[in-house]
Amino acid sequence: MNILEKIIQDKKATLSLTKKVYSLDFLEKKIKDLNCFYDFKKKIQENDGVSLISEIKKASPSAGVLVKEFDHLNIAKIFTNNNSTCLSVLTEEKYFFGKLDYILDIKNNFTIPVLAKDFFIDPYQVALSKSFGCDCILIIIAALSSKQADEIYSEALKHNLSVIVEVHDQKEAEAALKYKEALIGINNRNLKTLEISINNTVSIYEIVKNHKGPLISESGIKNEDDAKYIYDKTGIKNFLIGESLLSSDNPAELMNRFYQITQ
């Protein structure tokens, strides 16, 4: 069993427990009480320069624990103070040590769109994540059947959420094109093997270049040279970056270098 299959198997088990705790009616009422939603997709579309979707996570299966003294609000403060366009917050608990509560905490303290970064396998998770304040959800094509992806996408649009459809190979990229309102995220990391190549964005770009939604390069972008390479080859200037920022001694300086690549 590859790592993606393991995560999905465990997600099914935890989700069945969550459904017993939170009814859909309860979640919808909770959503109505929140007034902290922002347009994730529009924020990126209206940004003329480089868009950084800065990721907040304590750990990952590929890197282990990234931040020992983990404080999601402190990390969010650094990212927002240094002009992050949006935030990505890991909410998967077992493999990434994430929590949905992190999103609500951040939205109570900062005015910025947030992606709930999780493994969505059930439309129920859309209302669940929005009830904690998220503005965008993730559909990983490799983790879902076409029917599952369609259902989750439709549910997200019904809830006025932005959607990132994540792809890793050409077949997945072709499947993503039908989601006209989505952003397409090209993952440089193979979620089944955890191998990384930033050339993945370059090769898949040809398939998705005419998609009307924003295109995002995700994972494995260590520094401004990697980002500039992708930008020069494709024109993509939206990057989801986590580990390089979280492990940097000076994330503010690194972020500033990313912003310079189009100049």
Q: Kindly report, residue by residue over 93-116, the tens digit of the pLDDT.
A: 999 999 999 999 999 999 999 999
% of residues, the chain, pLDDT over 70: 100
d(CA 73, CA 106): 6
Q: Which stretch of DSSP H or E encloses residue 39?
A: none
Q: Which helix (H) or strand (E) holds 137?
A: strand 136-140
Q: What angle do CA 257, 86, 100 make, to 5 degrees?
A: 130
Quick check: 204 and 169 in contact, CB under 8 A? yes
**Token match 């094109």: residue?**
177
CA angle 99, 103, 106 (to 5 degrees): 130
Q: Mean pLDDT, to the nearest integer, of 58-73?
A: 89
The CA-based dihedral angle spanning residues 93, 182, 16, 142, taken in that order and rounded to the nearest 10 degrees: -80
Model confidence at 193, in pLDDT bands (50, 70, 90)?
A: confident
Provide mean pLDDT across the span 222-231: 96
Structure tokens at 233: 């080859």
Q: What is the pTM of this model?
A: 0.95
Q: Is the pLDDT of residue 59 over 80?
A: yes
Mean pLDDT throughout 73-94?
97
The answer to whether residues 238 and 259 touch, using CB atoms and an 8 Å cutoff, is: no
Give the total residue count for the chain: 263
**Cα gap 64→58, rounded to integer Å:** 9
Q: Which helix (H) or strand (E) holds 77?
A: helix 72-81
In this prediction, residue 115 carries a pLDDT of: 98
The reported pLDDT for the residue numbered 194 is: 77
pLDDT at 1 over 70: no
CA–CA distances in Å: residue 196 to residues 63, 94, 153: 12, 22, 27
> Strands 59-60 and 64-65: what pairing?
antiparallel
Task: Label residues 205-235 b or e (16+ Cβ within 10 Å = b).
Answer: bebbeebebbbbbbbbbeebebbbbbbeebe
Average pLDDT value over all residues in the chain: 95
